[in-house]
A and B are shown apart, each in its own frame.
Chain A
Amino acid sequence: MNIDTLMLMRDEIFLTAIILLMLIGEILLPIAKKKWLIHIGLLLFLIYTIQSFFPQKTGELFGGSYQTYPLVHFFKAILAVGVLAILLQSVEWIEEELLPYDFTAEFFILLFSSLLGLNFMMSAGDFLMFYLGLELSTMPIIALAAFEFFNRKSIEAGVKFIMLASVSSAILLFGVSLIYATTGSIYFDVIKTNMALPLMEIIGLVMIFAGIGFKISLVPFHFWTADVYEGAPTVISNYLSVISKGAAVFVLMTLLFVTFSTFGAHWDYILYGIAILTMFIGNLFAIRQKNMKRFLAFSSIAQAGFILLALLSHDKMGVQAIVFFLLIYIFSNVAAFGVVHIISLKAHTENMDDYNGLYSTNPRLSWVLMLALFSLAGIPPIAGFFAKFFLYAAAASKGYYILVFIAVINVTISLYYYLLPVRAAFLRRSENPIPKIHTDIYSKISFVAIVIGLLVLGLYSGVFEYISQISNIF
């Protein structure tokens, strides 16, 4: 191994260096100058994001434990952009809530460690690296969910999250051990050739699916989602709903399409049922939510159901549809959660009824909220429509017309509840609406970038063509 091959894991090395630098900064800076840490963290992460867009070679490290190819590298760059947008929105929150307690560096270190874990999980070439990445991504984010330890809701979210996450990872691990028993290896490419599908292997696969389904919050494993999203700080709910979920979907996609491709025909029945359940339960429960964070939590469950449509296709069309959908989904959900975050920070309310008359006092925030929710619902000129359209196209190309029809029914349901906050903000009148909110420059940059991204990605097809070029992962 020389320096050239080591640079294949450039992203991870860079991120580790940032984490260590933040740690040194935390030690060296005097207590009065801890505010600099926010700017240092943002600047370092901006550099990381920019470097992650430079091309990367295809290759593997550590005897195949770590693999990298253009698609996974591109997806890491998308995640970096998402995390950067979340960080920009959270600067004010850090200054208000974390700086007085001197927790700034901890926040950055834990968030970056979680992203590092996701990066390792996505480019894993064996189950050991996969499991380590999964744990490294989950545990810091649990600590962050329970970060406001004086707030009972936050601690409750942390307790629920760690208990269920540990059980789900234990179940996943039992599945891995059964796969190891039948195929005699933990390497993905050896497993792929050795698969003979005895009963033991099928049980193992179902257990692995349960473990990853927990992270994506598919329906039988979705109970933690709403509680944790509501209790955790909004920044962390945002991270959980887009970054962590996006990476887990990517991993599930590579596992199903590449490693367990011989099992494909058996998967489809499970995926078919779970897709229908996830869409219906996510959508129907979202209708009755009054808390905006719970509302977005159930909406994110329903979106996971739509993603499963493309997982049924088992070909290049499905891969490009999923990656494009996740890109759009990250943009729109970060915007929606960002508005909820700003309002809950400044006006201390998360209730949908308090959003009445938002347009009269905060017109720009209302426009961002409307664009984000329209994009999630999939209304044509905005990017969300094309993302959903490609998912349907991928499922329809394999003849799943009934499933596509059910999905279209669900989009109609979802349109109803996505319009509820928009109606509250634009059409309802209120005696005392939320007062005028002054956001800082960082949030403004983040919102402007996201809105431009949502509009441009809907009209400009270059990004989709690029994804289409690199999405041949088989």
Chain B
Amino acid sequence: MIEGVSLIEILSLTTILFFIGVYGFLTRTNLIAMLMSLELMINAEAINFVAINKYLSPAIMQGQVFSLFIIALAAAETALALAIILHLFRLTDSIDVKDVEELKY
């Protein structure tokens, strides 16, 4: 628990962070930038779990354990996404979503 900082402020921060991530994901066309926005969203949740655990139910550390798993899984997800994007780059020489439109309707 941090002195002088209430849970509302932390939750506002994480919500803003999450929606910055959503905005970035929707507006960026570069796949790597989209992955970065995704990381913002996932990190917002990790902070959320730790803060809620610390402020609301400090007796059991469910939230902190959860955030550890979130970090590990986010890394795995990014690794897989980068591998697929690398193959896309080899085939098309581009990592832009505009070039990922062979399958439509």
Chain A residue with the shortest CB-CB distance to B104: A227
Would you call A184 and B56 a contact (CB within 8 A)? Answer: yes
Would you call A167 and B56 a contact (CB within 8 A)? Answer: no
A176–chain B nearest beta-carbon distance, Å: 8
A271–chain B nearest beta-carbon distance, Å: 25
The interface stretch among A154-162, A367-375, A432-440 is A154-162
The interface stretch among A97-105, A139-147, A272-280, A332-340 is A139-147
Residues in B neighbouring A166, C-beta threshold 8 A: 38, 77, 81
B98–chain A nearest beta-carbon distance, Å: 12
Q: Mark B68-105, 1 if CB is under 8 A from A, else 0.
A: 01100100110011011101100110000000101111
Query: Interface majority SS on B: helix, strand, loop or mixed?
Result: helix
A334–chain B nearest beta-carbon distance, Å: 23
CA distance A171 to B32 in the complex (A): 19
Q: Mark B21-42, 1 if CB is under 8 A from A, else 0.
A: 1100100000100100010011
The interface stretch among A4-12, A43-51, A128-136 is A128-136
A214–chain B nearest beta-carbon distance, Å: 14
Residues in A neighbouring B83, C-beta threshold 8 A: 143
Partner of A135, one of B31, B57, B73: B73
Would you call B103 and A174 a contact (CB within 8 A)? Answer: no
Chain B residue with the shortest CB-CB distance to A285: B105
B36–chain A nearest beta-carbon distance, Å: 12
Would you call B69 and A128 a contact (CB within 8 A)? Answer: yes
B95–chain A nearest beta-carbon distance, Å: 9
B75–chain A nearest beta-carbon distance, Å: 12
A276–chain B nearest beta-carbon distance, Å: 22
Chain B residue with the shortest CB-CB distance to A180: B52
Would you call B103 and A180 a contact (CB within 8 A)? Answer: no
Q: A149-B87, A153-B103, A163-B34 are in contact. Are A177 and B52 (CB under 8 A)?
A: yes
CA distance A155 to B83 in the complex (A): 10
Q: Which B48-75 residues have C-beta < 8 A from chain A?
A: 48-49, 52, 56-57, 60, 62-63, 65-66, 69-70, 73
Q: A149-B87, A156-B100, A163-B31 are in contact. Are A186 and B80 (CB under 8 A)?
A: no
Chain A residue with the shortest CB-CB distance to B92: A152
Would you call A230 and B52 a contact (CB within 8 A)? Answer: no
Residues in A neighbouring B11, C-beta threshold 8 A: 181
Does any Cβ of B come within 8 Å of A284's Cβ? no
Q: Mark A108-121, 1 if CB is under 8 A from B, else 0.
A: 00000000000000
B79–chain A nearest beta-carbon distance, Å: 10
Chain A residue with the shortest CB-CB distance to B41: A170
CA distance A170 to B41 in the complex (A): 7
Does any Cβ of B come within 8 Å of A384's Cβ? no
Interface residues on A, range: 35 or more
Residues in B neighbouring A167, C-beta threshold 8 A: 22, 25, 38, 41
Does any Cβ of B come within 8 Å of A185's Cβ? yes
CA distance A166 to B62 in the complex (A): 23
B86–chain A nearest beta-carbon distance, Å: 9
Would you call B73 and A132 a contact (CB within 8 A)? Answer: yes
CA distance A369 to B101 in the complex (A): 31
Closest 5 CB pairs of A and B: A177-B48, A227-B103, A170-B41, A158-B84, A184-B57
New A-B contacts (19) at CB < 8 Å, excluding given A139-B80, A158-B87, A159-B100 = A135-B76, A135-B77, A149-B87, A152-B102, A153-B103, A155-B87, A155-B91, A156-B103, A157-B103, A159-B85, A159-B88, A162-B80, A167-B25, A167-B38, A167-B41, A177-B45, A181-B52, A185-B60, A185-B62
Chain B residues close to A by CB (< 8 Å): 11, 18, 21-22, 25, 31, 34, 38, 41-42, 44-45, 48-49, 52, 56-57, 60, 62-63, 65-66, 69-70, 73, 76-77, 80-81, 83-85, 87-88, 91-92, 100, 102-105
Chain A residues close to B by CB (< 8 Å): 127-128, 131-132, 135, 139, 142-143, 146, 149-150, 152-153, 155-160, 162-163, 166-167, 169-171, 173-174, 177, 180-181, 184-186, 226-227, 230-231
